[in-house]
Amino acid sequence: MHTFCMSDNKNKSHSLTDRYGRTVDYIRLSVTDRCDFRCVYCMGENMKFLPHEQVLTLEELEQVAAAFVGLGVRKIKLTGGEPLVRRDVIKLIQSLGQLDAELSITTNGSQLTEMAPALRQAGVNRLNISIDSLQESRFREMTRIGKLPKVLAGIDEAIVQGFDRIKLNAVIMKGRNDDEILDLVHFAREKGVDVSFIEEMPLGVISEHDRADVYCSSDEVKAVIESHYPLHATTEKTAGPSRYYRMSDCESRVGFISPHSHNFCSECNRVRVTVEGRLLLCLGNEHSVDLRETLRAFPNDQSRLQDVIVKAMDLKPEKHEFDLEDEPQIVRFMNMTGG
């Protein structure tokens, strides 16, 4: 794999700052739109995936990451789709592990029994593992395909590998898995990992359920947890939008990602790059710039790529608005966006 030469970098002095004074130091890089699950809130049942030529190559993904790190980005999260189903993803991770940035991955956990050791060795610091249910049949319903025992074994393997931090992510839907909130907290405590609860976002048009009907606010989830474990707000921040709480008797933290009820836009420090090389300035808006065009027209010209990225910061909108009652304004699915 071509290693992007940092001496190509003309050492752009700018860090990435948008019109609202927010510094962008975190990117979410989608490495594939494909996935071995079809979670009901994320995808339709029959998905069409991108043809290969539209997808950034591993070398192009590496160039994008290096360009951002040259501009002051210090956190890279690999996502998708399911990042671990991309062929040769370990090679990419090994090269990103050499960059001066914290590297994390968001995964559905299906490949971790085999891949967790290689991820750790390649320099992955943190893992986010999505798990919405601890009941086998329900897990299958919510993911349409996933096998819970395999994911549980993957979580155990990840714990053995000693990542700096492991966080479980659960999207809570009323009438589907809201009766498992405490079970998920117990599980996180038992395993000594963090857990975040996510409000479902209206990304992509789905027919499986009405998003307004299943909406469960973070405040409702928090109240359920507090009936058992008092939660103490912390000022601890990770790079992401979670608000964190601690319980008095354990190390596990409880986080809430609340795009509806606690808008986090004013603190937004991140941008996303889709696997087609579209730099998305906001999860809930369509403002974007095509990086693939530059990557392919001017191969290995990091300086030019960085100029495009710096200019794009002016497009970052102030905030998103999600409306559960109307048709989704954002028609791309979460697997395209890179959650």
Q: Give the residues lining the site for ligand SF4 (CB under 6 A).
A: 35, 37-39, 42-43, 80-82, 108, 130, 334-335
Per CB under 6 A, 35 contacts ligand SAM: yes
For the bound state, the minimum distance from the C-beta of residue 320 to ligand SAM, rounded and expressed in Å, comes to 13
What residue 203 binds from ligand SF4, ligand SAM, none (CB within 5 to 8 A, per partner kind)? ligand SAM
For the bound state, the minimum distance from the C-beta of residue 109 to ligand SAM, rounded and expressed in Å, comes to 8
What residue 38 binds from ligand SAM, ligand SF4, none (CB within 5 to 8 A, per partner kind)? ligand SF4
Which amino acid, 292? R
| Smaller CB separation from ligand SF4, 81 or 154 | 81
The structure tokens listed for 169 are 């992510």
Q: Kindly indicate which of the ranges 78-86, 232-240, 293-301, 313-321 contains the residues binding ligand SAM, using the contact rule CB under 6 A.
A: 78-86
Per CB under 6 A, 198 contacts ligand SAM: yes
Per CB under 6 A, 339 contacts ligand SAM: yes
Per CB under 6 A, 265 contacts ligand SAM: no
What residue 240 binds from ligand SF4, ligand SAM, none (CB within 5 to 8 A, per partner kind)? none
- Residues 32, 95, 107, 274: which binds ligand SAM (CB under 6 A)? 107
| Smaller CB separation from ligand SAM, 105 or 312 | 105
Q: Which residues bind to ligand SAM, rule: CB under 6 A?
A: 35, 41-42, 79-80, 82, 106-108, 130, 169, 171, 198, 200-201, 203, 334-335, 339
